[in-house]
Amino acid sequence: MIADGADIIDVGGESTRPGAQPISATQEIERVVPIIEALTTRFAIKIAIDTSKPEVMTAALAAGASFINDIRALQVNGALEVAAASSAQICLMHIQGEPHNMQDHPQYNDVVAEVKSFLLKRINICLEAGIKRERLIIDPGFGFGKLLRHNQLLLRNLASFATLGLPILVGLSRKSMIGQLLNLPVEKRLFGSLALALIAAEQGASIIRVHDVRPTVEVLKTWYAVMYD
């Protein structure tokens, strides 16, 4: 991934895909810490820890991670305090429900307004806890308690999230919305993933979380060179 052009490596030890069951903090630490230590020993690249557990955040930061990627936006008891005491960048994501049930019956009156309102509240809580604004990043949480129509509306209106004044991270790679749009299994969703990455970049996303690094980098470099260089 580094050779293919990745700027950040996101390390996670607990699945958060729809239907996933939680694991203990101990299990998670045992999975992620050796990987983070090995990466930081060999490569000069930013490492993100993908977790909601304060114990895992603490262990990962001690091992060399410098970015907290939290699908629960620091809502787990103790997570806000760990993040505030660190110097790490923090990504606050929106989720409705929990991974094991989030896709059962997600409901919104106005998905864009509600996600934006949630993120604004979490931003303000972080600021009140002493976390500087320049450390914060937001993620609308595509696929996390959202139906296809919700995801479409969020991506179509992603540029409106710029009013929150923070960089935007998106994770769309290989997700079920592509499968629903194209009727394709997960291993055949590369081209759909590239299309969504390009749309996200055009809508103002600063960080795009992907599985297929080189194809995505080439698409975005080409787009940027034509439009902005």
Closest CA to 122 of 54, 165, 74: 74
**For residue 18, is it left (φ>0), alpha (ψ between -120 and 50) or beta?**
beta
User: In DSSP terms, which residues pair with 171 in a beta bridge?
Assistant: 209
Q: Kindly report the CA angle at 188 between 183 and 193, in degrees rounded to 5?
A: 90
Which helix or strand (DSSP H or E) is residue 70 part of? strand 67-70
Whether residue 68 contacts residue 90, with contact meaning beta carbons closer than 8 Å, is answered with yes
> Catalytic residue among 53, 72, 146, 209, which?
209
Identify whether 122 is a catalytic site residue.
no
Under 8 Å CB-to-CB from 70, ≥6 apart: which residues?
A: 50, 51, 52, 57, 79, 83, 90, 91, 92, 93
> Catalytic residue among 146, 175, 189, 221, which?
175
What letters, b where the CB count within 10 A reaches 16 and e where it falls short, cover 69-79? bbbbbbebeeb
Whether residue 52 contacts residue 78, with contact meaning beta carbons closer than 8 Å, is answered with no
Whether residue 44 contacts residue 82, with contact meaning beta carbons closer than 8 Å, is answered with no
Identify whether 209 is a catalytic site residue.
yes
Active-site positions? 175, 209
